[in-house]
Amino acid sequence: MSSNQTINSLTTFYGVFGSPISHSRSPLMLNRAFQENGINAAYAAFHIEQGTLKAAIDGIRALRFRGVNVTIPYKVEVMSYLDEIDEGARVIGAVNTIVNENGKLIGYNTDGIGYVRSLCEETGISLQGKRVLLLGAGGAGRGIAYALAKAGAEIVWVSNRTESKANELVSYISLLTEAKYIAAEAIAGIIDKVDLVVNNTSLGMYPNINEIPLDPSLLHDKLVVSDIIYTPMETLFLKEARARGAKTHGGLGMFIYQGAYAFEYWTGQNAPIQAMREIVLQSLTE
């Protein structure tokens, strides 16, 4: 909505479903995007209690919401209640964006593509033939691993505290490119062959800002080191990497671009990336 518009009977509604949700910066970012592009729309955060997700999804149809983002802990469960799931989201096994096409709900996953777009734009890396070390095999890891493999990564090593969870991710990435589990103590043996290290764990996230997912003495100046955390903007892991001459990439871009792709799926318009980044940055520094 432009600044002189208010919500009226022609306003299109959007939202984000999650639990907890009060910390979400998505309403700030998406409302700014609608305003920037002059779209009469409003986006809000909805706290969905456990056991009520199906009713909430039915509500999208009943209330004619055009689209919804889905966040923790519902990205997997939500798949059961949709009419169609995009190939990427189906392979990843998680949905974070729903588009309502006249009552038909289609699920997408914009986490991985948002991550890769941000990584390439901010670091200039070309992923074709690159060797990747993925730290952590959690939910975001699936989308990121899928997008990295699709973008041409030659091999993905996965390190995770629980080996079985890492192997689950490895078997899934192996359908797209070479993938191997690597124990934490074996990383020193391969780190010289690695081009990109991605922290996909919550180690180093506020308030635990002194935690680090990898022994910093292993980092070197031939690496691109990426962290999906954006609170703080520069984690201890990224500081240590930068001090050793590595190129670094923080998590803010992934958050912005996953929202930008959702905006583009919903509206068919190019997302106003700069305005979206500005308002999120402003909220993080306040």
- Please give the span between the terminal C-alpha atoms of the chain, in angstroms, as a whole number: 24
Q: Does 87 belong to an annotated binding site?
A: yes
Looking at residue 91, its pLDDT comes to 86
Evaluate whether 12-109+254-285 and 112-250 have a shared fold.
yes
Q: Output phi, psi for 132, to 5 deg.
A: -120, 135
Looking at residue 4, its pLDDT comes to 53
What CA–CA distance (Å, rounded) separates 190 from 169? 19
Looking at residue 101, its pLDDT comes to 98
Nearest Cα neighbor of 270 from 44, 38, 18 is 38
Q: Does 159 belong to an annotated binding site?
A: no
- Topology of domain 112-250 in CATH is Rossmann fold (3.40.50)
Separate counts of helices (H) and strands (E) for the chain? 10, 12
Q: Does 109 belong to an annotated binding site?
A: no
Looking at residue 2, its pLDDT comes to 45
pTM for this model (two decimals): 0.87
Q: Does 12 belong to an annotated binding site?
A: no
In the three-class reduction of DSSP (H, G, I as helix; E, B as strand; rest coil), residue 14 is classed as strand
Q: Output phi, psi for 94, to 5 deg.
A: -160, 145
Tell me yes or no: is domain 12-109+254-285 CATH 3.40.50.10860: yes
In the chain, where are the structural domains located? 12-109+254-285, 112-250
Q: Output phi, psi for 157, to 5 deg.
A: -90, 135
- Cite the beta strand spans of the chain per DSSP E: 12-18, 41-47, 67-70, 84-85, 97-101, 104-108, 131-135, 155-159, 178-181, 196-199, 224-227, 247-249
Q: Does 26 belong to an annotated binding site?
A: yes
Looking at residue 5, its pLDDT comes to 65
Q: Is 75 a catalytic residue?
A: yes
Question: What tokens does 280 get?
Answer: 């999120």
Print pLDDT tens along the chain (286 aa).
Answer: 444 568 999 999 999 999 999 989 999 999 999 999 999 999 999 999 999 999 999 999 999 999 999 998 999 999 999 999 999 899 888 999 999 999 999 999 999 999 999 999 999 999 999 999 999 987 778 889 999 999 999 999 999 999 999 999 999 899 999 999 999 999 999 999 999 999 999 899 988 999 999 999 999 999 999 999 998 999 999 999 999 999 999 999 999 999 999 999 999 999 999 999 999 999 988 7
On whether the CB atoms of residues 121 and 90 are closer than 8 A, the answer is no
Question: Which candidate in 75, 222, 239, 247 is catalytic?
Answer: 75
Nearest Cα neighbor of 116 from 271, 222, 260 is 260
Contacts of 234 (CB under 8 A, 6+ apart): 242, 248, 250
